Amino acid sequence: MQWVRAVMAHLGVTATELARRAKIAPSTLQRPLNDPDWPNMLSGRTMAAIAEIAGLQPLEFPNRVRGMAEQEAMQYVPGDGADAADNFDRAVRELCQGRNGRDSWVMKGYSLELSGVLPGDVMIVDMNLQPQPEDIVCAQIFDWSGTRAETVFRIYDPPYLVGNSLRSGREKPITVDNSSVVIKGVVATIMRKRTTN
């Protein structure tokens, strides 16, 4: 079941959501995931359905660097702020413009949900701040074999980066080595758009 847990973490989904996407009964996954003494294996058909929605082969573990289509966060570009309803974008621009080394990012994943950062939240990253323990930081993880980099947001627990999420399960800490894992900046502000009912 380690493979199923890795796929769930890779996609950022619960077992129920994974089962829904794979078009299988939720109990097909929940029973073996919740029972450490489960005697059976998943059927080949079930594994094939899970692998297909994850873009993997059955029992192929997802790589840490996921590729551009599945970014955890992406740069946030505010609109032009032409109307009064656009106060949120105006505030983002004010926090970044004229301040060297500040960028805005929008969270796409759930890696920091227990720290209060949810998908859709906008984070102002200050690249001039020195990270302190327990800061939320923006980091890049480089895959030198494929010459790609993944931007992630994690909590800095020197010398590690750690997630804080119910959905991802227990995630292995990432060691900051300033070579393949580099902290780019500290999250100085987190903003959330007001939702109307």
Q: Which residues of 54-72 are buried (b: 16+ CB within 10 A; e: fewer)?
A: bebebeeebeeebeeeebb
Asked if the model's pLDDT at residue 153 lies above 70, the reply is yes
Can you give the CATH number for the domain in which 108 is found?
2.10.109.10
Residues 41, 89 within the same domain: no
What Å distances lie between residue 62 and 33, 79, 160, CA to CA? 19, 35, 21
Residues 41, 102 within the same domain: no
Q: Let me know if residue 196 belongs to a domain.
A: no
Check residue 53 and give its pLDDT.
81
Residues 50, 92 within the same domain: no
Domain span holding position 18: 2-54
Residues 79, 152 within the same domain: yes
- What's the whole-model pTM score? 0.62
Check residue 157 and give its pLDDT.
96
Identify the residue with better confidence: 67 or 148: 148
Residues 34, 76 within the same domain: no
Asked if the model's pLDDT at residue 147 lies above 70, the reply is no
Number of domains in the chain: 2
At 35-48, the pLDDT tens digits run 777 777 788 888 88
At 56-105, the pLDDT tens digits run 777 777 764 444 345 788 888 887 655 545 788 889 989 998 888 999 99
Q: Let me know if residue 117 belongs to a domain.
A: yes
Q: ∠ CA(128), CA(67), CA(166), 5° rounding?
A: 75
Residues 25, 101 within the same domain: no
Mean pLDDT of the chain: 83
Half-sphere exposure in the Cβ direction for 138 (13 Å, CA): 28
Q: Let me know if residue 59 belongs to a domain.
A: no
Check residue 68 and give its pLDDT.
37
Check residue 81 and give its pLDDT.
54
Q: Let me know if residue 60 belongs to a domain.
A: no
Identify the residue with better confidence: 76 or 13: 76
Q: Let me know if residue 197 belongs to a domain.
A: no
Q: Let me know if residue 86 belongs to a domain.
A: yes
